Structure 1
C-alpha cells in the first residue's frame, strides 16, 4: 500500500498517521521548509506547486496505490485534475499512477449551502452560497468524472469545521481572538482532525465509493463552544456579540450565510465510530495538552 497525499496539511498529516500499515506514504507541500513536518508524520515529502509535476514526483506516482487529494480548488476547478488533463489527457489518473486502486477527495459540507438549519445528508441538494463552495462542487464533479473514466472507486469526504491539537478554541482564547458571536438559530458542525484520519483509513480499507459526510454528531451554536472552552479553562468568557453589528471580515461573515445540520449517519451505519462525536468531550480531551504552562 503506497499512499500519496496531495496537499499534506493539517488533515493530510492526520490521515498519514492513521495508516500505520502502509508500506510507504508520500505527501506534497508548496514549501521545502515544511519537509521536516511531513517527515515527522511518516511522509516522504515532495514539492508540488499546482502548476507542474517534477520528475521526482512523476517517478513516485508510478507506485502509488491510494491517492488522497486535499488541495483546495480555484476558479478553474481542481488544480491537480486540470494539470493531469493537460499533461496526459483523458487517460489521466491511470497513466500517471498505473497501480492506483482507490482515490479520496477531501471536500467540505459547504457544498450543501444554506438549508435554513434543516438536516442534510449525502442525498441532499447542493446549494453552495460562497465562491469557494461553488468551486468545491466543480472539483467534486471533476473527480467523479476522472475516476469514472479510469474505473476507480472515489470516496468524497465532505468535512465540517476542522479543529484539533494546536488548532482549537483554547488557542483562540489564549491569543485573545475568541468571540461569542450570536446569530439567531445559527449552528455549525465540527470535526476533530483525528476523526478525519480514522475515517479516511476506514473508507480506504473498504475501497469505498461515494460521498460521505465526515462530521460530528452535534451541530451547535458557535458561541456555546466558546463558552464551554472558557468553562474548562477557568477563564471569563468574552461577551456575546450580535452578529448583525459585529465587525467581521467578508469571509468570516460569509460562513454565517450557510445554516444546516449535517448528518453523519451514512458512515456510522457502515460501522465507523467517531472518537470525538461532540465538542464537549473533545474539548475536555484537548485541554491537558493545551493548558498554558
Structure 2
C-alpha cells in the first residue's frame, strides 16, 4: 500500500514496537486512523512493512544507540516486543521508556503468565501477580517499568495480558506430528486462548477506549484444559491425538520450558474487554474456530 493520502500527515502518529505477526494483523485496523511507523531490527523487512501500510523504522531495543530516531516520533505506542530471553528484568522496555515523550499513550501486550499457577481458579484482572519463572518475571518487570514511567511522565499506559495466541495458521501441528505427550486428565491444567486476529482487534480497541492504568485480559471465552486443546486440534486436522502421561512421566519426556507451561492452571475472566472496550470476539472459542477449519491440511 502506497502512503499517498493527502491527509496522511495530519493523522496522529502511531509507533508499533515489535511488528511481527500480531503487528501485521493490526496494521489494516489502524492505518486509516493513524500514520503508522513500524519498528524492525531487520532491514530486510522494510519492504513488507511498507507494503502493509507502515513507515518502516530500523531500530533495535537491545541497542540504545539505535533508538534515538524513535524519540518523540509518535505520541501513541503499541508495544508488542517480547523481553530479551534471559534475566528477570526487561531491559528492552527500560530502553524504550527512556525515549518515550511525556504524555504519550502506550498499549502494552503482556502475558497471563504473570499470575503463575492459580490451581485452575477463575481469575480477573485484580488478581495479584505471582510469576513462577524468569520469563514471567521479565513481563512483570516490563509492566512495572511502564506504570512507573506513566506516573512520572504523565503517560497513559494500558496493559493487555494475553494467554496462548493461536490462529488458522498458528496451530501446534508440529507438536502433534512429533507425538509430544500431554498430561493425563487427572493432572491436566486449564489453559487460555486468544485468536491472533482478535488480539489485534483488542489492541486497536485499546488505543481508542482503554482506561489509563488499566489491565485487560485479552482472552476468549474458552474453558478448556491443555490436553483437550491438543485433542481438538488433532481431530480438526486429522492427526493422531497426543499420548497422555502422568506428570511424573511427562517431566522426563518434555523440555523444562514445555513443562513450565504445563505446570500452571488458571481460567481468565474476560468481562472487562467486553464491558469497557466493547469487544465482540470474532473467534469466541477454540471449538468454534476449529469447526471452521475443514480445509486445514495435516
TM surpasses 0.5: yes
Q: Which residue of 2 aligns with 1:116?
A: 119
Q: Does 1:198 align with 2:205?
A: no
Task: Tell me the SS of whatever aligns to 2:57.
Answer: strand
Task: Tell me the SS of whatever aligns to 1:156.
Answer: strand
The CA deviation at 1:178 is: 5.7
Change (3 A) 1:46 1:144: same
Task: Tell me the SS of whatever aligns to 1:94.
Answer: coil
Task: Tell me the SS of whatever aligns to 2:159.
Answer: strand
**Is residue 169–residue 178 contact of structure 1 (8 Å, CA) maintained in 2?**
no
Matches of 2:123 and 2:170 in 1, distance apart?
Answer: 27
The equivalent position to 1:169 in structure 2, one of 163, 169, 172, is: 172
Matches of 2:37 and 2:179 in 1, distance apart?
Answer: 35
Q: Which residue of 1 aligns with 2:90?
A: 78
**Is residue 28–residue 48 contact of structure 1 (8 Å, CA) maintained in 2?**
yes
Matches of 1:44 and 1:254 in 2, distance apart?
Answer: 38
Q: What is the total number of aligned residue pairs between the two structures?
A: 280
Matches of 1:130 and 1:8 in 2, distance apart?
Answer: 26
CA shift digits 1:108-154 (9 cap, x unpaired): 00001111111111101111101111111111010001012111211
Q: Which residue of 2 aligns with 1:14?
A: 25
In the TM superposition, structure 1's runs of 4+ consecutive aligned residues that sit over 6 Å from their partners are none
Relative to structure 2, which stretch is displaced further, 277-286 or 144-153?
Answer: 277-286
Matches of 2:153 and 2:168 in 1, distance apart?
Answer: 37
Q: Does 1:144 align with 2:147?
A: yes
User: What TM-score do you get using the length of structure 1 for normalisation?
Assistant: 0.85
Q: Which residue of 2 aligns with 1:226?
A: 230
The equivalent position to 2:101 in structure 1, one of 94, 98, 103, is: 94
Change (3 A) 1:36 1:76: farther
Change (3 A) 1:14 1:179: farther
Consecutive unaligned residues in structure 1, runs of 5 or more: none
Alignment of 1:60-71 (within 5 A): 61-71=71-81
Q: Which residue of 1 aligns with 2:266?
A: 260
CA shift digits 1:51-80 (9 cap, x unpaired): 33567x644553413101122224363334
Q: Which residue of 1 aligns with 2:14?
A: 3
Q: Which residue of 1 aligns with 2:280?
A: 273
Q: Which residue of 2 aligns with 1:236?
A: 240
Matches of 1:153 and 1:123 in 2, distance apart?
Answer: 19
Matches of 2:198 and 2:71 in 1, distance apart?
Answer: 27
CA RMSD of aligned residues (A): 2.4
Q: Which residue of 1 aligns with 2:254?
A: 248
**Is residue 71–residue 101 contact of structure 2 (8 Å, CA) maintained in 1?**
no
Relative to structure 2, which stretch is displaced further, 153-162 or 206-215?
Answer: 206-215
User: What TM-score do you get using the length of structure 2 for normalisation?
Assistant: 0.84
The equivalent position to 1:45 in structure 2, one of 56, 59, 65, is: 56
Matches of 1:27 and 1:151 in 2, distance apart?
Answer: 24
Consecutive unaligned residues in structure 2, runs of 5 or more: 1-11
Relative to structure 2, which stretch is displaced further, 263-272 or 8-17?
Answer: 8-17
